Amino acid sequence: MNDLAFREPSFVADAVRIARKDLLIEFRSRSGFLSAAVFALLSLAIFRFSWDPTAVSSIDLAPGILWVIFTFAGLLGLNRSFNVEQVDRAMDALLASPVSREAVFAGKALGNFVFVMAVQLLALPTLALFFGLPVGPEWWGVLAVALLAGVGFVAVGTLFAAVASNTRLAEMLLPMLALPFFVPVLIPAAQATSSLLAGRPLSEVVPELKIMGAFDIVFVAACTLAFPFTLEE
Amino acid sequence: MADSDTGTLSAPQRAVVRRNGPPPELEGGTALVADGVTRKYGARAVVKNVSLRLNAGDCLALFGPNGAGKTTLLRMLGGLLKPHSGRVTLHGRELPGEAATRRLLGVISHRSMLYDALTVRENVMFAAECQGLRHAAAATDAVLEQLHVHDRADTPVRALSRGLQQRVSIARALVHGPRLVLLDEPYTGLDETGARALTDALRALKANGATVVLITHNLSEGLALATETAIMRDGMFVHQMTRPPEDYVVTEYATMYRELVAGVE
Amino acid sequence: MTSVSMPETGTSVRRTMPALDWVLVLALLAVGGAVVRALVFTPADAMLGAVQRLLYVHVPSAIQGMYVACTIMAVCGGLYLWIKDERLDRIAESAAEVGFVFLSVVLVTGAIWGKSSWGTAWAWEPRLTSALFLWFVVLSYLVLRDAIENREARARLSAVLGVLALLLVPFIHMTVYLFRGLHPEPLALKPGKPDMSPEMLTTFLIANLAFMFLFFALVRVRYQWASMRDERAALEQA
């Protein structure tokens, strides 16, 4: 009389569950998010103090700063992606379960995406505040750019976090591996932000959005396919 | 193993009842077969052409010095590693397999495989949901009770002693009623109570018709549970034995073991 | 060249690298010949001056370093992930190291040329920028390999990087076209497509062939070294 009722594994449910688990762990320990948030805010303050307003206008300077900070705060979060699975080998239990490898990757990336966006939601208002930027409807465009950039960023970043977790120097290797890959996301993002904050209409940043969108599609697919190869089998 | 969940019992009652017997289609018969399994590390073979055959209800105790290839063999038996040659089948299905096959597995090692920031219940629920259990909460409660950790269910794992953590790890591995349970030195670091709880759980598994493969350095515990024993050295089985359960001659076995692995440790 | 027979297996293992690899020597002579031809027998470009002769080093290095090396890395990496043959990994590893050297040459010659022709050692034009980013990626490939001890993991993970790197290249191109730098692109910037007289064209082709020869000779030597290293490691472990 067996009454263990099972349901078939669902990619979405599995990924969401893994993301939720990671975010719950992050929320409980808090140190990762706090480090990234403090880093972002402190950096913004430092950049503000080292800026000579008579030489460069805030609208010219702020976008570049925003995206540099986004990158390094994001890297702080990405570094931690796989730590939690390695400490007590929890990953082994996950891999032995019916959950697919692709769902594990999607779950990890989703958790990282929430992390990165959370930091960004702190950084954007702070940027506006510190640099005296006007706040208007153009910021919705900036948010959209941030979302688009975030997807590509976490796809590549999560994959290389998985690669780096196999090495001796994981935390140092991750930036080295990932930064060249971030460039096709960061440069269009910075340029689009710059245009939008200067008041240009959304239609003018369509080329940037296209590159980011293409990058997102190509690399989300490629990294999902590549992820199983980062696991020893 | 996906099926409907009709029944007149309540979910918690059903969760308890299911522990009393295997599903009809898996009752008796050959459970786990490894056929000429080899795994290399570079040019060196870590597991050399190993074959074994276990029935439902069998327990294989695998002994051997460090570096003999026991863990690698175990990971191949669980589908976590692919053999470079040969194959492993579980209930007729090849490993590594698809979701339905992986659901038959439970893995326990001396690492807890838990998330220490989460509570006991959260860890086991996560495992239960990953296995696809429809009544994850009921199954979680049942297994926590079975292993006597129910009273600490809302404690974060990091606040527990090693022995308790291991019991939670066992709960995590068994919540979905696996038919093949693989244990890699589970007695390491366990105190008296923990070791007893583990042995009880393993006896219950065998009684339910599950197949167990146990790597341990503890000869007496292993021999007490085993229906088959094997000594592994340099990637190969140097001794295999099918032992009737009453035959408990630990000292003889220990002497033979020492002779067979002389020069390695 | 010394070889030693291993008593049990009967295979012979080369213990030292050959003192003189003839293929490499020939390749170096070919490159030397191309250089001589460029310096002595080919007139300098009227407009761009003597420095333009760097073209004969810069462009072939770019072709080998960027296109050939990276394609080999990606293709061998991808094939390795499919069939797990260690030789593919060794080819990728060798191509990466030699490609790294060639890419460095591209950047240095590009800087020298730029400084003399346009007054600036660097310009954010598509090909140079791609070369720069590929240089970074190949460097990170080499550092990654260095950070992994397990042979199988090293091959597998660097193969993943190699394949993804090839996917990156078109995006870098696209991004640079989008990029609005602070200074305008130099007008006379044509590292690859100046109008060439027939003599210059011949020299150009010869240089390309010579560098291709050199690239493959170097990869071959590096591959042999890698094979020896792997065999020795396998013997030590057995």
Nearest to A173 among C147, C168, C178 (CB): C147
- β-bridge pairing B85-90 and B180-184: unpaired
Contact C172 A169 (CB under 8 A): no
Q: Kindly list the residues from chain B whose CB atom is less than 8 angstroms away from the CB atom of residue A92.
A: 80, 107, 109, 111, 113
Work out the burial of residue B247: count CB atoms within 10 Å of its CB; fewer than 13 is exposed, 13-18 middle, 19 or more buried. exposed
| Contact partners, residue C25, CB within 8 Å, separation at least 6 | none
Predicted confidence band of residue C48 (pLDDT cuts 50, 70, 90): low
Contact B130 A25 (CB under 8 A): no
What share of chain B has pLDDT > 70, as a percent? 86
Q: Give the mean pLDDT of A79-96.
A: 89
What does the block give as tokens for B240? 């295999």
Q: Kindly list the residues from chain C whose CB atom is less than 8 angstroms away from the CB atom of residue A222.
A: 163-164, 167
Beta carbons of B265 and B65 less than 8 angstroms apart = yes
What does the block give as tokens for A70? 């986004």
Q: Kindly list the residues from chain C whose CB atom is less than 8 angstroms away from the CB atom of residue A214.
A: 171, 174
Beta carbons of B29 and B215 less than 8 angstroms apart = no
| Contact partners, residue A31, CB within 8 Å, separation at least 6 | none
Chain B: partners with 3+ C-beta pairs within 8 Å:
A, C
Find the closest chain B residue to C155 by CA distance: B42
Beta carbons of B183 and B169 less than 8 angstroms apart = no
Q: Give the mean pLDDT of C118-126.
A: 77
pLDDT for res C9:
45
Contact A17 B129 (CB under 8 A): yes
Distance in angstroms (rounded) separating the CA atoms of residues C199 and A172: 50
Beta carbons of C100 and C143 less than 8 angstroms apart = no
Chain A: give the shortest CA distance to residue B102, in Å: 5
CB-based contact, A112 to chain C, within 8 Å: no
Chain A stretch 49-68, residues whose beta carbon is closer than 8 A to a beta carbon of chain C: none
- β-bridge pairing B211-215 and B59-63: parallel
Distance in angstroms (rounded) separating the CA atoms of residues A211 and B57: 59
Q: Kindly list the residues from chain B whose CB atom is less than 8 angstroms away from the CB atom of residue A21.
A: 115, 118, 126
Locate tokens 């590292």: which residue? C191
pLDDT for res B247:
57
Distance in angstroms (rounded) separating the CA atoms of residues A152 and A10: 24
Contact C234 B42 (CB under 8 A): yes
pLDDT for res C43:
66
Chain C: give the shortest CA distance to residue A172, in Å: 10
A37-50 confidence digits (pLDDT tens): 999 999 999 998 88
CB-based contact, B114 to chain A, within 8 Å: yes
Distance in angstroms (rounded) separating the CA atoms of residues C37 and C34: 5
What does the block give as tokens for B210? 């599950």
- Phi and psi based region of residue B185 (left: phi greater than 0; alpha: psi -120 to 50; beta: remaining): left
Residue A224 has pLDDT above 50, yes or no: yes
pLDDT for res B8:
41
C146-178 confidence digits (pLDDT tens): 999 888 999 999 999 999 999 998 898 888 877
Helix axes C86-117, C69-83, angle to 10 degrees: 160
How long is chain A? 233
The residue type of B73 is L
Contact A5 B99 (CB under 8 A): no
* Phi, psi for B49 (deg, rounded to 5): 50, 55
Chain B stretch 151-170, residues whose beta carbon is closer than 8 A to a beta carbon of chain A: 156
Chain C: give the shortest CA distance to residue A23, in Å: 27
Chain C: give the shortest CA distance to residue A229, in Å: 7
Predicted confidence band of residue C3 (pLDDT cuts 50, 70, 90): very low
Q: What is the DSSP string of B74-130?
A: HHHHTTSS--SEEEEEETTEEES--HHHHTTEEEEESS----TTSBHHHHHHHHHHH
pLDDT for res C66:
80
A192-212 confidence digits (pLDDT tens): 999 999 888 888 889 899 999
A64-84 confidence digits (pLDDT tens): 999 999 999 999 999 888 888
C-alpha torsion sign, points B217, B219, B221, B225: positive
Distance in angstroms (rounded) separating the CA atoms of residues C35 and B182: 66
What does the block give as tokens for A188? 């269009």
CB count within 10 Å of CB C75 equals 17
The rounded mean pLDDT for chain A is 91
What does the block give as tokens for B135? 């009544």
Beta carbons of A79 and A171 less than 8 angstroms apart = yes
Angle at CA of residue C74, ends C73 and C80, nearest 5°: 90
Residue C189 has pLDDT above 50, yes or no: no
Chain C: give the shortest CA distance to residue B201, in Å: 36
Residue C136 has pLDDT above 80, yes or no: yes
pLDDT for res B13:
45
* Phi, psi for A50 (deg, rounded to 5): -90, 10
Find which of A82, A145, A153, A167 to mutate to test the C interface (most C CBs within 10 Å of its CB). A167
Highest mean predicted confidence (pLDDT) among A122-131, B5-14, C62-71: A122-131
A100-118 residues labelled b (16+ CB within 10 A) or e (exposed): bbebbbbbbbbbbbbbbbb
Write out residues in chain B with pLDDT < 50, as ranges. 1-10, 12-25
A172-189 confidence digits (pLDDT tens): 999 999 999 999 999 999
* Phi, psi for B112 (deg, rounded to 5): -75, -20
C88 or C112: whose pLDDT is higher?
A: C88
Predicted confidence band of residue C198 (pLDDT cuts 50, 70, 90): confident
Give this prediction's pTM.
0.87
- Which of A11-15, A55-59, A90-94, C13-17 is the least confident region? C13-17
Q: Kindly list the residues from chain C whose CB atom is less than 8 angstroms away from the CB atom of residue A55.
A: none
Beta carbons of A81 and A108 less than 8 angstroms apart = yes
What ipTM, to 2 d.p.? 0.91
Distance in angstroms (rounded) separating the CA atoms of residues C150 and B5: 47
Chain A: partners with 3+ C-beta pairs within 8 Å:
B, C
The rounded mean pLDDT for chain B is 83
Contact A98 B99 (CB under 8 A): yes
Taking alpha carbons only, the member of A73, A105, A179, A195 closest to residue A144 is A195
* Phi, psi for B258 (deg, rounded to 5): -60, -40
Angle at CA of residue A187, ends C112 and A140, nearest 5°: 160
Contact B2 A29 (CB under 8 A): no
pLDDT for res B21:
43
What does the block give as tokens for C226? 């890698």
Find the closest chain C residue to B46 by CA distance: C238
Distance in angstroms (rounded) separating the CA atoms of residues B147 and B144: 5
Nearest to C81 among A168, A191, A229 (CB): A229
Contact A184 C160 (CB under 8 A): no
Find which of B98, B126, B135, B181 to mutate to test the A interface (most A CBs within 10 Å of its CB). B126
pLDDT for res B6:
35
CB-based contact, A152 to chain C, within 8 Å: no
Contact C233 B41 (CB under 8 A): no
Nearest to B78 among A6, A8, A96 (CB): A96
